[in-house]
Amino acid sequence: MKKSIRDVEVTGKKVLVRVDFNVPLDPKTNEIMDDSRIIASLPTIWYLIGRKAKIILCSHLGRPDGKVVESLRMTPIAERLSQLTSLPIYTVSDCIGPKVLKAVDKLKNGDILLLENLRFHAEEEENDPGFSSDLACLADVYVDDAFGTAHRAHASTYGVAKLLPAYAGLLLEKELRVLGDLLENAQHPFAALLGGAKVSDKIKLISNMLGKIDILLIGGGMAATFLKAHGYSVGLSAVEEDKVGLAKDLTEKAGAGKVELVLPPDIIVADAINDTAKYAIAPISMIPADKYIVDIGPQARELFTEKLKPCRTVFWNGPMGVYEIEQFGRGTRAMAELLGNLHATTVVGGGSTAEIVTEMRLGFKMTHVSTGGGASMSFMEGKTLPGVQALQDE
């Protein structure tokens, strides 16, 4: 385990906190569309305020590719954070340099300064030693509370942690505890519900979890590759041909490990992937050659429900269909509602799945909704996360 901010005296100290404020903005109004990542950072911020630290927050926003993009400034983030805390949030027009040092020097105990978008500097993603040093000279202590970027070895997530006493924030600590318990101490029956477009995105995850779970349920676009591996025709659906053999191997490994692999018995097929497409229900043995698989069918929803209801632990990552199109999102919505009402530990693995749960306002009904898509996947694959590895050990 890693040391957390509970393990260091911060009163009167300048604390650089890497947060994940990479929130979606409305392209027309530049208003924040989902502030859940900002809300997730509040326990750490309040902890530091309560201990009279001088708080310096830093984050990236979007993909400005190393140059200043006006629409990706941190101004709307500062405004929302001020609304959530009822406190003034000071800002500065850069994240390093003399202006920033001057702003930091003005901070009083309990004050909050939000630096400008880290990725306005290309050196951030390059983990440039000079940029890391420029960030480190702003503070006495470094805190990483950005689980969503913990799988990246960037200057603000890795380089700075090598130069300052480095600790986990309360959000990062919670993510590591919850996901770690899933891999090591889960209550059984333990199910993994996996969807999304590609098998290739989930191979390492499935391989690492096969020895830990009792049931593996497959939906989404990746189901097409598994169905083909089981001898079914899948129409016009995208299949990763080079992964069909691997899907067979994973199926055999599941059987050998006494893991029940559940594929949808029926699916929704459509003549196109848009909101005006004609669609119908089809058993997996009769998928038309000129149709696309776009969702799991009603029998599949019933079967998945039957399999998940007795479970004590469920990990979910990936939609069951083309969720963005209303009529092809029924399977995904059904699974979200089911998990929200299970008497079990339910963990949602970040990314688009977390966005779906948040959009449906079901986050509060889940045990944990991860703030990191790629990071949670990497962790569940058994990988070491650079942003975590760089922090001080207990």
- Annotate the chain with three-state secondary structure: CECEHHHCCCCCCEEEEECCCCCCECCCCCCECCCHHHHHHHHHHHHHHHCCCEEEEECCCCCCCCCCCHHHCCHHHHHHHHHHHCCCCEECCCCCCHHHHHHHHCCCCCCEEECCCHHHCCCCCCCCHHHHHHHHCCCCEEEECCHHHCCCCCHHHHHHHHCCCEEECHHHHHHHHHHHHHHHCCCCCEEEEECCCCCCCCHHHHHHHCCCCCEEEECCCHHHHHHHHCCCCCCCCCCCHHHHHHHHHHHHHHHHCCCEEECCCEEEEECCCCCCCCEEEEEHHHCCCCCEEEEECHHHHHHHHHHHCCCCEEEEECCCCCCCCHHHCHHHHHHHHHHHCCCCEEEECCHHHHHHHHHCCCHHHCCEECCCHHHHHHHHCCCCCHHHHCCCEC
Catalytic pick from 220, 351, 372, 387? 351
Residue 258 is among the residues annotated as catalytic for this protein? no
Catalytic pick from 18, 37, 202, 291? 37
Catalytic pick from 51, 52, 162, 198? 198
Residue 37 is among the residues annotated as catalytic for this protein? yes
Residue 198 is among the residues annotated as catalytic for this protein? yes
Which residues are known to be catalytic?
Answer: 37, 198, 351, 374
